[in-house]
Amino acid sequence: MLIDASRATLLVIDVQEKLIGAVSDPAGTLARTRWLLAATAELGLPTVISEQYPKGLGPTVASLLEAAPQAQVVEKLHFSCVAGECLPASLLAREQVIVCGMETHVCVLQTVFELLESGKQVFVVADACDSRTVESKVAGLERMRGAGAQIVTREMVLFELMRSSSHEKFRILSKTFLVGEQP
C-alpha cells in the first residue's frame, strides 16, 4: 500500500531537548527529522508532535517546531501516544499514520503497536527514528515490521505523498529536498 496524502498524517514522537543527546546519532536524527517535517509541511500534511513529560524532559527541539509551525504539540506520560490518550481527533480520523521519533524501541514501538491494533495503516520512517543504541533501534524496527508496520524512508514518504512529477509542489520540493547533500 502507498501513502496517500488525503488519508495520512505525520506523528513525530518525543524528539525533546533533554532526550536528543542520549540517542546514537543526535545530529543526524535532528537533521533528518527536520527534513521530514519541513517537506511534509510544504505539502500541508497534518502533523502532531508528542512530548514525553516535558516538565522533566524539556520541550521538542526548537528547530523541529520551526520546520512545522502548524504542527499540534501534545503531552503524554505513557510511553505510547495511544495509551496516553493524547492524540487529537484529527489524527485519529485518518487511516494512515506516518511515524518517526525516539526512542524507536520504546515510545515509537508502543505507539505503533497500538495504532496497528486500532486498525491504522502505519508507516515508520526508519531514517528519522533513533534509540540510545543502534541495536535497540534495529530490534524495534524489526518488531514493528513483524507486527505489520511498513518500514519506509523520508524519500519514500515524499514521493508517495506527491505520486507524480506533475504534482504542483514537485519542482520546489525536488530542488529543496532532493538536490545536493541531504542529511
Query: Which of the residues 107, 129, 130, 137 is marked catalytic?
Result: 107
User: Is 169 known to be catalytic?
Assistant: no
User: Is 76 known to be catalytic?
Assistant: yes
Per-residue three-class SS string for 137-160: HHHHHHHHHHHCCEEECHHHHHHH
Task: Tell me the C-alpha to C-alpha distance, in Å, between residue 96 and each of 11, 40, 54.
Answer: 10, 14, 27
Closest CA to 172 of 42, 68, 35, 63: 42
Query: Which of the residues 76, 81, 120, 130 is marked catalytic?
Result: 76
Query: Which of the residues 14, 127, 129, 137 is marked catalytic?
Result: 14
Closest CA to 124 of 16, 11, 30: 11
Count Cβ neighbours within 10 Å for each residue of 138-165 and write b for 16 or more, e otherwise. Answer: eebbeebeeeebbbbebbbbbbbbbeee
Tell me if 137 sits within 8 A of 104, measured CB to CB.
yes
Tell me if 181 sits within 8 A of 35, measured CB to CB.
no
Return the C-alpha cell found at 99: 511515524
User: Is 81 known to be catalytic?
Assistant: no
Active site residues: 14, 76, 107
